Structure 1
Amino acid sequence: MSQRETPANRLRALLAQETLRLMPCCFDALSARLIEDAGFPLTFMSGFAVSAARLALPDTGLISVTEMVDQGRNICQAIDIPVIGDGDTGHGNPANVHRTLEQYAAAGFAGIMIEDQLAPKRCGHTGVKEVVDRAEALRRIRAAVDAREAGADLVIVARTDARSALGLDEALWRLNAFADLGADVLFLEAPRDETEMSRFRDEVPGIRMANMLEDGITPLLPPARLAELGYRIAAYPLTLLSCAVKAMQLALNDISQGQTPDRRASFAELRELVGFAEYDALVASYAELS
């Protein structure tokens, strides 16, 4: 793979275009493949969704970096589009941030998100009360940038949860500082309304990411409005997971009533999705040697 073809550079090329990118978030290799097959140009491995799907546990820092890297490696191997991985707090001090970036880059990620919550972190829409102080927040992003420059080539998404913990002014100060340190994408978690989103656009230069969580704190806005508000990425962190959960609950209810669910992928569609035809063709190509 040439330097131009690296996952990080493919993601950089997408973000260099002045258009809003819709980014459904994945939680395993199958959901990632569905996103790719639907024509989306990038995806994000959601920590909330992976913790839920892999462990059936809340997004409160219980999942380990090893488990996240393992899940991410499977996702990155299953698809060709760039994947941004949730790096949470970096999993420790600046040395841990370095190693987390190295592991994510080796797993095939194109980018990583690092945030300023106090460990153990929690989902940003469930009542964040504490973030680290400014100095520690800056150390994390500085360590991520240093790791990137040392060879862990990832697009760095710098996130702040300071809006919920300390107020909007502090959050905007941190985002500007993250940009000055060299973060590639800036993420204000949980703005309350369009006025706050407009301040993010007007007061923080750079590439901005929005988080469109159904039933969350931030208003759900159509893509055209998000583009007007200056966003380059619109993440949909739990849409696929929540829809999958509801579909399985309905299917289980049908089965409990002795019925076969009507709304389902066919067996042929499932075989195609996971690549049975390609597998059989590969095996058949060696048949003449027997």
Structure 2
Amino acid sequence: MTSPAAKLRQLLARPGIRIMPGCHDAMSARLIEQAGFEMGFMSGFAVSADRVALPDTGLLSYGELVDQGRAICAAVSIPIFGDGDTGFGSALNVKRTVAGYARAGFACIMLEDQIAPKRCGHTQGKAVVGRDEALMRIRAAVDARDAGADILIMARTDARGPAGIDEAIARCQAFRELGADITFLEAPLDVDEMKRYCAEVEGPKMVNMIEAGKTPVLPPAELEAIGYKIAVYPLTLLNVSIRAMREALECIRRGEPAKVLGFEDLKAAVGFPEYYAEEARYKLPQ
């Protein structure tokens, strides 16, 4: 059986940009797969909202994130990227986090260089650790991978905001030298910064497409031309689900019918047809 990491390596080896929606639970991950996407991203922002209804400000623990990830990965067959925040502590914590994410079924783990507690990359108050500590985290992650954790390492820097684009690019270059599989320079402010990052850092690169965020939201073809390999849309499904639930609640409050799926469609979405088929295989004779 091909592992999630092996599947992801095969996808990244193919030409063209890969589009990756974000999920927050098993249902949203399954919808991504059913829609025909080849990979998905477990967003820490979205999981924090879904699991505890709190902002993405470092409030979730390693255990909560890996538990959510285990359910997400079990629900689909496509590779899933997992938000690993800062690695949850020292170099040894980072190694444990990488190994735990691999056991949970993730194809790739994202690790960042923010000061703990971290926060969403497109919100205020970000700060990053020094370059040496940032590199230590990625070195530990790569060591865990090379010691047998079957998972890719995506090294993220949030240095663009507090330290500038030069430092952010330098960190991504150093991450690649250490052996990171993918780099992610969070929140470039314009197309020129995006082009410079892609020109000066080799290897696969991811761009974050957050609606109304700091980075310009561009069509996939333009992102590919700039040099990106992956475009992630981490909050779109969370965003539209909150909007739809608010609209449905308003309909209920007014005593009006809400716009809903037909019941057969709802049952199909959550897997009743597959369950009934499997149930029939083991039905005892009357």
Superposition deviation, residue 190 in structure 1: 0.3
Measured after TM superposition, the shift of residue 153 of structure 1 is 1.3
User: Is residue 2:149 matched to residue 1:164?
Assistant: no
The residue aligned with 1:54 is 51
CA distance in 2, matches of 1:81, 1:276: 21
Q: 1:285 Cα shift?
A: 1.8
Does the 8 Å CA contact 1:89/1:116 hold for their aligned counterparts? yes
Whole-Å separation in 2 of the counterparts to 1:235 and 1:284: 40
Q: Please state how far the C-alpha of 1:16 moved relative to its aligned partner.
A: 1.1
Instruction: Confirm or deny: 8 A CA contact 2:119 2:126 kept in the other structure.
Output: no
Where do 1:145-184 residues align within 5 Å?
145-184=142-181
Distance in 2 between residues matched to 1:135 and 1:7, nearest whole Å: 31
2:198 equivalent to 1:201: yes
**Alignment partner of 1:270 out of 266, 275, 278:** 266
Query: SS state of the match for residue 119, structure 1?
Result: coil
What one-letter code is carried by the residue in structure 2 that aligns with 1:259? E
Decide which of 36, 40, 43 is 1:39's aligned counterpart: 36
| Secondary structure at the counterpart of residue 156 of structure 1 | strand
Deviation above 4 Å: which 4+ runs of structure 1? none
Separation of aligned partners in 2, 1:256 and 1:206 = 52
Residue from 85, 93, 96 that aligns with 2:93: 96
**Does the CA-based 8 Å contact 1:193-1:218 persist in structure 2?**
yes
Q: What is the TM-score of this pair, normalised by structure 1?
A: 0.97
Partner of 1:284: 280
Range moving further from structure 2, 279-288 or 108-117: 279-288
Aligned residue for 1:288, secondary structure, equals coil
In structure 2, what residue type is equivalent to 1:229? I
- Deviation at residue 77 of structure 1 after TM alignment: 0.6
- Structure 2 residue runs of 5 or longer lacking an equivalent are none
1:112 counterpart residue number: 109
Amino acid across the alignment from 2:265: E
C-alpha separation between the residues in 2 aligned to 1:128 and 1:42? 31
Matches within 5 A, 1:1-150: 1=1, 5-150=2-147
What is the deviation of 1:284?
2.2
**Separation in structure 1 between the aligned mates of residue 125 and residue 167 of structure 2, nearest angstrom:** 14
- Per-residue deviation at 1:129? 3.4
Alpha-carbon shift at residue 18 of structure 1 (Å): 2.4
Q: Deviations over 1:15-64 (max 9, x none)?
A: 11121111100000000000000000000000000000110000000011
The aligned amino acid for 2:48 is: S
Contact 1:97 1:140 survives alignment (8 Å): yes
From 184, 188, 209, give the equivalent of 2:185: 188
Matches of 1:121 and 1:201 in 2, distance apart? 25
CA-CA distance at 1:92 after TM superposition: 0.4
SS at match of 1:112: strand
SS in 2 for 1:272: helix
RMSD of the TM alignment (CA)?
A: 1.0
Match of 1:228 among 222, 225, 229: 225
Q: 1:206 deviation in Å?
A: 0.8
TM-score (norm 2): 0.98
Identity level (%)? 59
Residues 184-221 of structure 1: CA deviation (Å, up to 9, x unaligned): 11100000000000100111111010000001000111
Q: Which runs of 5+ in 1 are unaligned?
A: none
